[in-house]
Structure 1
């Protein structure tokens, strides 16, 4: 009987270890891309006119572009840039969401209604159109991409954090704290912060893939990072001129690498949520 009762706990432990292994492996691959992208910065800019538009081979696994630059080196450098932009944009956006959710929960009333109105307003606007308009207004560039992506990705996370914060503020222990004369900021520090930390971390990680993809989209349209930087969006935009000539590797291989990295980051977010949320069906 004791052995039978222990089986669910063993299964739970195995799933948790498996989930941790997925997170760890995905993190290692992402960190490996960051390191490899840094090491490939110089080869990504090295030209060789004698090796222009070569297909994938043992010497150039991803082929070469119109200037003879190694596409694998440019892809790794572009992925590194996309990851750095994604980290910055997702972090800023998550902090904005956390601040707005806390303000709405702590002050309520007019502040809560104003935050709700802002969230509904941003969610009602076409997302890609808003990104393009803001990027155009800011003039493009890496810094503009970070700002634009950060300013457009907070509404959904704000709604989630606001709902969780509302549950905390309506709880019995918060009511007791108020009766004991505790102020709003004391309650926010002692009660809200701990309950929102897990949701905040998972939300920030899940914003990351969207930030990466939207950076690539803006760069592809010419409104993203500097065209001289080998970002994935720039690589894909440049490849459009040569696809009809059969240079498929210029678009297919960098695009697949971008999708793999985005999927890895999404896996980190989903498995982190499974670890932090005991009610998750994954555990």
Structure 2
């Protein structure tokens, strides 16, 4: 209990991490309540009100069809986070399973899994996602699958590295010598000890997944109209940048804030969950210590 309280305390006293956590909490509220928070329908066309600047009626202005930008940004954030969460959950499940199995079993299984991972790492993330979408066709489900596939190798490598370190620990050897089954050892000893790096990687992967979804939607291969998406909104705003800056600025700001919040939270979690960095931070906070 003391360790958990200390961990929460270290996170809370870091103003950057605390601010990112608050931002993500607000985003979570938006995800749940976006349809009710949106003041207008996301596809309510009102041509006479097209390209209105931000005002009391339309806080984020309107687009070229008179649609309320604020409403579309709220619903687009919901869609982006849904894609990111599902895709990263898929990547974590498959990647951790492969990485733990390869690291614990070793031998030919480790060689095969890591060679496949190396091949996938040879391709840029966005290029590999584009290839998957091009094969399966654009759409929300395809976007989730494509992003999930390209992030599987990252989780596999993190899980394998942690497993290689844990499997040689004395308590694992003792448990194995007592006839304990591998599934119990993995569940009881390996997974709890590699959870820290995986939590940090999950936070960082969520940030990159949001960027990947925005990039795919910008190229017309992600979330399809009439469903609003942040990347597609920025693409549609290209021809109106000089006369309606708000069409690109607000969706872009939503991407920046969301990605930055996940990245900063990941940095804070790394400081707390990494024993060496945590010891250094606690030492610096001791009275009389050097800054």
Q: Does 1:93 align with 2:88?
A: no
Q: Is the 8 A contact 1:98 1:158 kept in 2?
A: yes
Secondary structure of the corresponding residue to residue 44 of structure 1: coil
Corresponding residue to 2:196 among 195, 198, 204:
198
Structure 1 residues not aligned, in runs of 5+: 1-10
Secondary structure of the corresponding residue to residue 43 of structure 1: coil
Q: Does 1:59 align with 2:48?
A: no
* Alignment-derived partner of residue 156 in structure 1: 154
Cα distance in structure 2, aligned partners of 1:259 and 1:139: 27
* Alignment-derived partner of residue 180 in structure 2: 182
Residues 129-144 of structure 1: pairs in structure 2 closer than 5 A? 129-144=127-142
* Alignment-derived partner of residue 124 in structure 2: 126
Query: CA shift at 1:137, angstroms?
Result: 0.8
Q: Is the 8 A contact 1:165 1:196 kept in 2?
A: yes
Secondary structure of the corresponding residue to residue 42 of structure 2: helix
Q: Does 1:275 align with 2:253?
A: no
Give the count of matched residue pairs. 272
TM-score by length of 1: 0.89
* Alignment-derived partner of residue 3 in structure 1: none
Cα distance in structure 1, aligned partners of 2:119 and 2:204: 22
Query: CA shift at 1:180, angstroms?
Result: 1.7
* Alignment-derived partner of residue 217 in structure 1: 215
Structure 2 residues not aligned, in runs of 5+: 1-5, 283-291
Query: CA shift at 1:194, angstroms?
Result: 1.3
Secondary structure of the corresponding residue to residue 199 of structure 1: helix
CA deviation profile, 1:81-104 (whole Å, cap 9, x unmatched): 101111111111111121011110
Query: CA shift at 1:209, angstroms?
Result: 0.6
Secondary structure of the corresponding residue to residue 153 of structure 1: helix
Query: CA shift at 1:185, angstroms?
Result: 1.9
Q: CA RMSD in A?
A: 2.1
* Alignment-derived partner of residue 27 in structure 1: 24
